[in-house]
Amino acid sequence: MNLVELQSINDGAKNLLKETVSELSKFEGLEYIIIGGWCPFLRNEKDIVHPGTLDVDILFREGYQSTALKDIIKAFIEAGFIPSAKHKFQLLKEQKIQDKDFICNIDLLHPKMTEYDENRGLFVDHLDLDVPLKGEETVKMTSIVLPNSALLFDDSLFDKYTLDSFEFNLVDFTGMFLTKMESCQKQKRERDSFDIYLAFLNDGVDVNKLQAIAQKNNHVKTALESFKEFLRNKSDIFNSNIRQFHKEIQDSPAEEILERIK
């Protein structure tokens, strides 16, 4: 895939994305969305530089159904992706950057808790690798839930994006905001605040659509109110998070965003 020598870690991550969507494109009618940091990195049209992202998060609409991703995972493995020994929802791929080898990863996600008792919880089993884990238990490839993300499909919060002739489904800024408005309030998730800031700076968040979703979805309504409260009461934390990636900012992004969504 990397016909041109990769010069940076960001180059390696981009190459991983291309290899990923190349495999996904082999499955006609597959409903998936590339989510996470690729949205603000690729959609940002401002002079502010986004630091990039190092992995590829794939949300599969039917991933909550057991074995639904079996053939897809097999295809990835046949293409040289390696199952992670630590995270069973993760596949790894080597990227040669300059003269050094690095390991990058893709994460397999599904949008809601499974309805089946035998798989209830965060994970859904898709492929038994038939390798002993302990005792008679074997290693299984799974997907992991991204709670309440089915609305990305239900409300069409994504569109087609093309990167160097590779076309794929990429979450839009509104969908990205909905997936990050809770996580940005947690420690060690500082870049989520920056991603949200870029989304509004690019006028990418459809506030009317956001409000319409909140009216029919109680979780979104509660989470949106919690986010507003966070901006009001902990604006210093939100602004500080953003300054880690954009030191030149003078105004209060928290106040600006709160004014847009209140």
pLDDT for the residue 2: 54
Count of CB atoms situated within 10 Å of the CB of 102: 16
pLDDT tens per residue across span 63-88 = 999 999 999 999 999 999 999 999 99
CA 183 from chain centre, in angstroms, equals: 12
pLDDT for the residue 148: 87
pLDDT for the residue 81: 98
Strands 123-134 and 137-145: antiparallel
The count of residues in the chain is: 262
Task: Return the sign of the alpha-carbon dihedral for residues 227, 231, 233, 236.
Answer: positive
pLDDT tens per residue across span 78-132 = 999 999 999 999 999 999 999 999 999 999 999 986 554 444 578 999 999 999 9
Tell me which residues of the chain have a pLDDT lower than 70: 1-4, 113-120
Q: What is the pTM of this model?
A: 0.94
Strands 32-35 and 55-60: antiparallel
Longest CA span, the chain: 59
